[in-house]
Amino acid sequence: MTKETVVNDHDQTENHLITERREKLAKIREERSVAFPNHFRKDTHAKALHKEMEGLDRDALKQKGKIVKMAGRIVAKRLFGKGGFISLRDQTGDIQVFVNTGLIGAEAFADFTTWDVGDIIGVEGEVSRSDKGELTVRANQLILLTKSLRPLPDKFHGLTDVEARYRQRYLDLITNMESRETFRKRNLIVRTIRSFMDARGFEEVETPMMHSIPGGANAKPFITHHNALDMEFYLRIAPELYLKRLIVGGMERVYEINRNFRNEGVSTRHNPEFTMMEWYWAFADYQDMMDMTDAMMKEIALRVNEGSTKVQYQDYEIDFAIPAARMTVQESILKYCDVAKDYDLNTREGVAALADHLHIKYDKENDCWGKILMEIFDDQVEEQLLQPTFITGYPLAVSPLARQNDENPLITDRFEYFIGGREVGNGYSELNDAEDQHQRFMTQVEDKDAGDDEAMHYDKDFVTALEFGMPPTAGEGIGIDRLVMIFTNAPSIRDVLLFPHMRVRNS
């Protein structure tokens, strides 16, 4: 039997089941004035009920006599004679429901036998235990709330096709409790970040998502057109320059959990739109931000893991109770690239020779020391930074918004935060010298004119704001999606986005 034959047989079976369910719905419409009732109110969730009744046997539950109202989707159904069991799933988990004619009557039971896996129902009954000891609600009232017209995939063994899980997230959430747990943890991580920042006196703010000038990062933007103003806008690639304007205005501690958009590649680590948390702290430097990041990660781990700082990611363990390692870009290359010790990493000639030896491509005519150094770092080091690590000493050439180091003018007071072989955060002591910022913008403009479509535009108003004076400030951005990947052991960014972007299918 060919694959095409199997697919066609599956489609025919599914179409037959859909027809049957539509016929059932038609009969419901004929017999009832309201086919999709909305008067049932639940008072209990499955997870809470399991926790409340933990350790109580059948006799203890009978003595307790607890009556509950629950609602959810039928995910399994087993009939025998004048009785049967169903598994009911709500947003927290599953609960077993026992149904028989003695509890709900012969007419209601006959109606119940026509219901399908996937239907959404309400149930009221007493909490008990089955002969096998499973917590069970003995239904004395059942109501069909929503008739499901399509069968759930794979007889409810789970939606296993990865692409289908991303394209039809609703089915993934119905059939895979692990996916529900991932997004529960995502919400918990964001709430923890908010409480962490609020407790330290930071104010949450909102800044524009449509910019007349894209800025705050080296990235290619999406472009849109505003009809009434008859002008182009860029979807935000980062909120940085607006948040710094607030620092100029006297708001000394600000943060924003924001959606950003970058018109770049799609991969297991990149999505065209993504969530970041950026914050700025006046009268602080990049060292303070690294300390704060360590504290934040520890608190997130404690909340997500219910008291433990240890997280399992892929095949290794991360303990966020241990402060992240700190090393410079050059130190990391020397550590993770064996041959680097034979080259002078402080000169363009030295890093160019090393890049040539490693067959790393770079622009031999135009790339400066800093850009070549970072090409080597990206190729040789980044994926090896599995444990939390702060990489510092970033070259000035790739850090147009960071403060120049007082001792070495070729580098900046900047760090990137790595976990699991990927960048999770980026922070630095901010550049608050308006004249220096003007000159760096001009360099970016030259790069853009030379063909670099990720180089920054010149933002005149931001330079004007700096001319009014911005206090010494530190800032950082953390990628929420990548952070959630670590805390949920997800190999792809698509696993932690409810609706990741996918190429449109032809059929």
- pLDDT tens, 233-267? 999 999 999 999 999 999 999 999 999 999 988 88
Angle in degrees, CA 43, 44, 50, rounded to 5: 165
| Whole-number Å distance between alpha carbons of 408 and 396 | 10
pLDDT at 499: 94
Computed over every residue of the chain, the mean pLDDT equals 93
pLDDT at 505 over 80: no
Work out the number of other CB atoms within 10 angstroms of the CB of residue 202.
19
Q: What are the CB-based long-range contacts (under 8 Å, 24+) for 258-262?
A: 258/207, 258/209, 259/209, 260/236, 261/221, 261/222, 261/235, 261/236, 261/237, 262/217, 262/219, 262/220, 262/221, 262/222, 262/237
pLDDT at 6: 45
Whole-structure pTM value:
0.90
pLDDT at 453: 73
| Strand pairing class (231-235; 253-261) | unpaired
Give rounded-to-5 percent helix, strand, coil for the chain.
Answer: 40, 25, 35
pLDDT at 4: 52
| Whole-number Å distance between alpha carbons of 440 and 400 | 6
Closest CA to 329 of 269, 403, 407, 418: 418
pLDDT at 506: 67
Confidence of residue 82 (pLDDT cuts 50, 70, 90): very high
Helix (H, G, I), strand (E, B) or coil at 87: strand
C-alpha separations of 411 from 204, 400, 473 in Å: 31, 11, 18
pLDDT at 155 over 90: no
| Whole-number Å distance between alpha carbons of 339 and 349 | 15
Binding-site members are 416, 423
pLDDT at 156 over 80: no
Binding-site members for Mg(2+) are 416, 423
DSSP letter for each residue of 167-198: HTHHHHHHH-HHHHHHHHHHHHHHHHHHHHHH
Helix (H, G, I), strand (E, B) or coil at 97: strand
Element (DSSP H or E) covering residue 95: strand 94-100
Domains and CATH numbers, the chain: 32-146 (2.40.50.140), 175-324+387-495 (3.30.930.10)
pLDDT digits (tens, 9 = 90+) for 323-339: 999 999 999 999 999 99
C-alpha separations of 463 from 38, 108, 250, 363, 467 in Å: 57, 73, 17, 30, 6
The radius of gyration computed from the CA coordinates of the chain, to the nearest angstrom, equals 29
Angle in degrees, CA 391, 393, 394, rounded to 5: 90
pLDDT digits (tens, 9 = 90+) for 268-279: 788 999 999 999
Rounded mean pLDDT, 204-230: 91
Structure tokens that stand for 468 in this block? 């009014």
pLDDT digits (tens, 9 = 90+) for 412-429: 999 999 999 999 999 999
Confidence of residue 318 (pLDDT cuts 50, 70, 90): very high
pLDDT digits (tens, 9 = 90+) for 472-492: 999 999 999 999 999 999 999
Portion of the chain with pLDDT greater than 90, in percent: 86
Q: Dmax of the chain from CA atoms?
A: 89
E strand residue ranges, 309-464: 310-313, 316-319, 325-328, 389-392, 414-419, 422-429
Structure tokens that stand for 443 in this block? 């360099």
pLDDT at 299 over 70: yes
Q: What backbone phi and psi angles, to 5 degrees, belong to 29? A: -65, -35
Confidence of residue 10 (pLDDT cuts 50, 70, 90): low
pLDDT at 386 over 70: yes
